Every structure is written in C-alpha cells, then in structure tokens.
Amino acid sequence: MTATPTTLEAKARPGTGTGAARAARRSGRIPAVVYGGAKGPEHISVNGRELTLNYLKGRFLSTIFVLDIDGEKQRVIPREVQLHPVTDQPVHADFMRLVEGARIKLFIPVHFKNQEESPGLKKGGVLN
C-alpha cells in the first residue's frame, strides 16, 4: 500500500534574482526552483506556511511531493532547503522532478535506540 504524496500549491515566478525572491517572501511565499527531467529549470514560489509546516515535520528531504504549479501537477523530491541564519525558517527550496524509471540517491539518517542498554556496548563493543 503506497501513501499518496502531499500536494504543495505553487505559482510560477515571473522574475528571477534577489529582487523577485524578496518580493515573494514579502507576500508570504518561499522562492524555489524545480529542475531535472526533460524540462528546463522553473522558478516558482511555494506557500510559506505550508512548506514550513512540512519541513518541521521531519523527513522533508526524503518525502515525495506533488507540486501543483498553476494547475500542472509534477512529482518532485526536495533536494535542498536554505534556512534563515537567525530564525531557522526556510527561505529557499530546490526540488528535483521525478522521472519514471530514473534512479535517485537519498540520504536517510539512521537513529539507534537504547544503545546505552546494549550488553555488547557495555562490554566495550562499537556501534557504527
């Protein structure tokens, strides 16, 4: 059973560069880029609250999303999120289009639980 990907609403951004990105942020949106596949890169803006909530849930960089860019749906995976240096809120995101049959590499962190209680580690063993 596969889970349905979360849909993020996005709008095409007419301008590029610092001025256009700042204007998007002032209106509560986060500038982003979608790249990969047969199409060229697209400059978009995503709802800031929606993106931040999904980012704070965890597993953001390993979750498949559907971007609804002005009515056109594209399956994407986040590749990078730039954060504000003081507030740690997302200020920019990069998404990669998913193409059927293409291989992608993901970084998935592994967290060990109860390693303090492990008899092997208590006797000097190593967990790596």
Q: What's the confidence (pLDDT) of residue 81? A: 94
Low-confidence ranges of the chain (pLDDT < 70): 1-2
Q: Where are the domains of the chain?
A: 6-101
Please provide residue 57's backbone torsions phi and psi, each rounded to the nearest 5 degrees. Answer: -65, -25
Enter the CATH code of domain 6-101: 2.40.240.10
Q: How many residues are listed for the chain in this entry?
A: 128
Residue with tokens 């909530």: 53
Q: CA torsion, points 51, 57, 60, 62, in degrees to nearest 10?
A: -150
Q: What's the confidence (pLDDT) of residue 2? A: 60
Q: How do beta strands 6-12 and 65-69 pair? A: parallel
Residue 46 CB coordination number (10 Å) = 27
